A and B are shown apart, each in its own frame.
Chain A
Amino acid sequence: MVNKFRIDRRTHLKGLGAALALPLLETMGWADSSTSKDKTVAVPVRLGFMYMPHGVIPDQFWPVNAESFLTAPPPALESLQPVLDQCLLMKGISGVPILPFGGAPHALELSTWLTAQLPDADTRSQINIAISADQIAANFVGGFTSLRSLELATMPQTHKENQEGLNEGYYTHCSFRSATQPVPAETNPRSVLNRLFGKTDQPGQIAKVDPLDRQMLDLVLDGAKELRRKLPQDDQHKLDEYLDSVRAVERRIAAIEYRQKEAALEKSGVASTKRNASDSPPIEIKIPVGDKRSEYMQVMCDLNVLAFQTDTTRVSTYIGSTPNGVSYPELGFNDEHHSQTHHENKPEQVAKVAAITAFNIAQFAYMVKKMASLREGDGTLLDNCIMMWGSGLEDGNKHSRDNLPFIIAGKGGGAINSGRFLPDTKGNQGDLLTTILACAGIPLDRPIGIATKQMNEMKHNH
């Protein structure tokens, strides 16, 4: 039943002008045959990325060995215990070497995180890097949902600091729609809710839309052509960015119109093409009033869960924290995260970094545990997700990037062989991103950033 619904809606959306350009891949050797089979009838895989800066305390993060992973997990992972059997940890994934920009570890840890590539050195004062993995995925699956992708952040992206002449945007952005277009993240839970469902206080319920608006936007887009022609090329790019966003609204209205028609049909007794009856009802969102970071992060996580659960989007990126000036009064100290990571192994500061790390992982755990509690088809929502948590440094004290910490939760619809710790992996962050996208059935026509291969050890039947 679920499957039929997918096919129907996809066809319908294509009819509305949301047809997608599918890159050619199978021939390029980057498509993953084990998951791309029967793609049209599979429940969609959702991809989520969540970030924490400055690395971890390695001996509190890495399990002692493969065997102890599930039985005696390290302190940093305690909050994940109930779902550890659905998580995958791999040690040995290296980051992009940042040597050419040696003095800017923190501007680069975030901006290389999903691009697996360094900024262009010659135009470093502007944003010029590469499309990020989440946006590649959104380009492919974004057309099936009312929102192309969801970008969230805990802190406003307004940090100003200039290292090695790098554009300040590199400090605070990890999603890039193209080499030169950083995607801003939403920090206000209320706005996120409005964007997911329109202005309605009942999450999951569909806001009213006016089909006339869609036709009006269509005319506005048409009218912009003349203006565009008059502008120089740089300005045309700026205008295109806006026009793309207008097109996104058009499409969202079309998607909602479709859902409304579907609901009307169901009401009049026509056989439902809706979700399987065993699915859980949409979760409830409570927007906190205070400024407690855990509550704030949890509502952002809830919104992410809800967006996936209702298939409002299939790709999300949450910058849980940025590399600059963030402190965690809730943990009983006011020191800024960055200042503590240069701990030189002093126990007091190591303990603070460990607490901050555990706190961030606990928010991620909150999200994936909720996903594991929601039924979807024959399994859970988490079964059909790939949720990646990670950092752009291994050890903030040394700025090292040899064994970047990542946690992969969810099975990606069965592609990922989870519940394991692989203590001796060989690969880089580009390989990891490439493999994750392949597991989600996203065909790639080239490797991501510095990738040279897929990490087949992540998958089943390896």
Chain B
Amino acid sequence: MAAQAQEQDFAALQAETKKVFEDRVTPFFKSYCTDCHGIYRMEGGINFAPTLTAPGSPSSAKTWRQALANIRAHDMPPDDAKKQPTEEERQMIVDWMGTIKFLSPKDPGTFVIRRLTKMEYGNTLRDLFGVDPEIAAELPDEVFGEGYLNTLSPLQSEQYLSIANEVINRMMASQDQPPTEAQKRLFGDTPAPGDDLRTAARTVASQLARKAYRRPASEAEVELLLRVFDLAQENKLDYSASLCLMLKAVLVSPQFLFITPAKEPDVGMTIAPLDDYQLASRLSYLLWATMPDAELSVLADAGKLHEQSVLLDQMKRLLADPRSRALFDGFGAQWLGLMGLESKTFDTSMFPQMTAEMRAAMVDEARLFFDSIVRENRSVIDFVESDYTFLNGTLAALYGLEKTVIGTDMRRVKLEDANRGGILGMPGILATTSFPNRTSPVKRGVWVLEQVLGEHVPPAPPNVPPLEKQDKQAVANLTLRKRTELHRTNAVCANCHKILDPIGFGLENFDAIGRWREQDDTGGAIDAAGELPGEKRFSSPRELKAIIAARKDELARNLARKLLAYALCRQLEGYDEIVVDQLMVVIAKDGYRMQDLISQIVTSYPFVNRRVHELEVPKSYGQ
């Protein structure tokens, strides 16, 4: 029922968007733009003719974005144009562009095949063979973009091969020893004398491939593994050594290293539901960063996993398991920007506290806090405002709590100081967004806007000197705040800095490693007062946090967008924005709870479906 209502709402919005497009948008472009940007003259390479013919197609998106920026900034039409649109007309275009997403065809996007990440690969080897995931340590680290930039060193296969050798070394018992657990599990019993070895090997190959490929292997795939077995036999390897060569082939096969579909979709289909094996892998790699376990595999074999109630039960089960810390390791740490904290340079004379233990405790604090919101199904607003955190003795020193929190174990601590609690007052994040020797109100402001509120902050224009370049004499006696405010005397800078600097100033009571302070490095008193758009005034981190926490919809939408992109391993586009709109309505009902968000994502249209052939690019949206 709910789904049907959604479809209807969507159809209504699409109709409205089309109507405004025809009645108002097209005439606007025809009267103000297409003389210079049409099929006869393409000034600046811009031609609105195709854009106006297919406004909802992905290829139009860039032209719209460019047009939006220029219309809003009054850069276009140029000053010497024959006529200028009214303010009301400009606003109409800006508003309409926010609705272009309704013109996108309903499209789940492709299921991009991708290689397992280093973490996923190590965990999968652990689950298959009982080896330490550190066995993958020598693989290079991934470059993360939105989704992944999954490049492959031409030499990486070599590492896969050498890791496969190492796996076999560790798994196989030596000659005179009884077989190991993993060996028995994967290779079964040694055939009795006189049994056909190839028949026995076929059974092993088929079972091994089911586990390692995370789906039943095709007849041809099993046959190929048997050819490897034959190769070993021809070279006089004994039965178990021959199985080892076969196992090695499994571990360097693309079917193991990539998540691949079990079967081809029916001919003529453009959109297909994920098969249950793919769905099991997608869910398991999202929440656990490893292969599906026995329970998920049984459900996939039975063809039950795609049933929504089953899928949601499995999601809850996976989240309750300690392995779901992978959601922080793979997603949370990236989102919060903590990936580089371990190796970030600090001025050791100013901050001797930044030892390896301290850095590890900072990341642990963020991880345990993130986990608590996930496992206890708290509101995502708690990321910004909460009254607890996780500390050990080392980290407690930064909070001034070293008398009460003692020892190396991390534990949950109730916070009395409302300036703390939540990611804005968390030392790891405050340190990540600082320079090696001082705080950076600008970096902190950008971080809050982009990572917490999901706004896009344009880069500084070229040739703007950072603070260090200011005239030393003139600024020597100014506090960092006063120096930073000099930005805003320059009109070019002021536009953005008037929004991002106040947020950073509001956090100036926290030094570059997150300790509370009343004075900045110059000895001047910290002035943490500021104002955000909408006359929202604050005078302390506590009040700043409250203002940001009140922007619930933006906070939740930002996290939803980032998590959906991570779950799909690709950038969001066109129809995905509709998916986000729809899930926001649902999760708002119970105060934006984290598990509601994850439930919505794992049952969302693009998560459980895939596009298998290119959609027809519509000539016009109407037909």
Report which A residues bind B (CB closer than 8 A).
102-105, 122, 125, 127, 147-149, 151, 156-158, 160, 162-164, 167-169, 172, 177, 181-184, 186-188, 190-191, 194-195, 198-199, 212-213, 215-217, 219-220, 222-224, 226-227, 230-232, 234-235, 238-239, 241-246, 248-249, 252, 327, 329, 334-336, 339-340, 342-344, 346, 349, 398-399
Contacts and interface: CB of A to CB of B under 8 A. Distances in A.
Nearest to B250: A220
Contact of A183 (B138, B151, B237, B461): B151
B459 A103 contact: yes
A162 B149 CA distance: 14
Contact of A163 (B261, B340, B459): B459
Contacts of B113: 231, 235, 238-239
Contact of B157 (A168, A242, A329): A242
A186 B115 contact: no
A249 B150 contact: no
B157 A234 contact: no
A248 B158 contact: yes
A252 B165 CA distance: 17
B140 A342 contact: no
Interface in B182-211: none
Given A169-B145, A191-B140, 8 more contacts: A158-B142, A162-B459, A182-B151, A188-B138, A219-B227, A220-B253, A334-B345, A342-B466
Contacts of A168: 143, 145, 149
Contact of A158 (B141, B155, B252, B465): B141
A334 B260 contact: no
B335 to A, nearest CB: 11
B252 A220 contact: yes
B157 A399 contact: no
30 contacts: A122-B62, A147-B155, A164-B459, A167-B145, A169-B149, A177-B154, A182-B149, A183-B153, A191-B138, A191-B140, A191-B159, A194-B138, A212-B231, A217-B161, A219-B224, A219-B231, A219-B249, A220-B249, A222-B224, A223-B221, A223-B224, A235-B113, A241-B151, A242-B157, A242-B258, A249-B157, A327-B345, A340-B468, A342-B469, A399-B462
B154 A213 contact: no
Which 7 A-B pairs have CB atoms at the shortest separation, nearest pair first? A223-B224, A245-B157, A334-B436, A334-B347, A235-B113, A246-B157, A249-B157
A344 to B, nearest CB: 5
A212 B154 contact: no
Nearest to B458: A103
Contact of B228 (A183, A219, A248, A334): A219
A327 B468 CA distance: 15
Interface string B87-128: 000000000000000000000001011110000000000000
Nearest to A156: B141
Interface of B: 62, 110, 112-115, 138, 140-145, 149-159, 161-162, 218, 220-221, 224, 227-228, 231-232, 235, 237, 245, 248-249, 252-255, 257-258, 260-261, 264, 339-340, 345-348, 435-437, 459, 461-463, 465-466, 468-469, 472, 571, 612-613
Contact of B468 (A125, A149, A169, A339): A339
Given A187-B140, A212-B235, A238 B155 contact: no
Nearest to A150: B155
A243 B257 CA distance: 11
Contact of B143 (A149, A172, A231, A399): A172
B476 to A, nearest CB: 14
B109 to A, nearest CB: 11
B255 A227 contact: yes
Contacts of A160: 144-145
A238 B150 contact: yes
Given A245-B153, A346-B472, A336 B465 contact: no
Contact of A248 (B154, B340, B345): B154
B145 A158 contact: no
A226 B254 contact: no
Given A186-B153, A212-B232, A342-B469, A105 B340 contact: no
A327 B145 CA distance: 24
Contacts of B218: 226
Nearest to A250: B157
Contacts of B252: 217, 220, 246
A230 B469 contact: no
Contacts of B150: 238
A165 to B, nearest CB: 9
B112 A235 contact: yes
Contacts of A346: 469, 472
A241 B152 contact: yes
Contacts of B62: 122
B126 to A, nearest CB: 21
A255 to B, nearest CB: 12
Given A163-B459, A222-B224, A243-B254, A336 B435 contact: yes
Contacts of B345: 327, 329, 334
B143 A184 contact: yes
A406 to B, nearest CB: 24
A252 B155 CA distance: 10
B199 to A, nearest CB: 20
Contacts of B472: 346
Contact of B348 (A127, A164, A329): A329
B348 A245 contact: no
Contacts of A248: 154-155, 157-158
B462 A102 contact: yes
B161 A181 contact: no
Nearest to A169: B149
A7 B107 CA distance: 57
A238 B150 CA distance: 9
B151 A158 contact: no
Contacts of B348: 329
A327 B346 CA distance: 9
B66 to A, nearest CB: 11
Contacts of A184: 140, 143, 151-153
Nearest to B65: A165
Given A158-B340, A194-B138, A223-B224, A342 B465 contact: yes
Given A212-B245, A219-B224, A169 B153 contact: no
A366 B454 CA distance: 47
Contacts of A226: 218, 220-221
Contacts of A342: 465-466, 468-469
Contact of B155 (A195, A335, A344): A195
Contacts of A216: 228, 231, 245, 248-249
Given A151-B153, A182-B151, A199 B339 contact: no
Nearest to A223: B224
A194 B232 CA distance: 26
A147 B156 CA distance: 12
Contacts of B220: 223, 226
A157 to B, nearest CB: 5
Contacts of B161: 213, 217, 249
Given A212-B245, A239-B113, A399 B154 contact: no
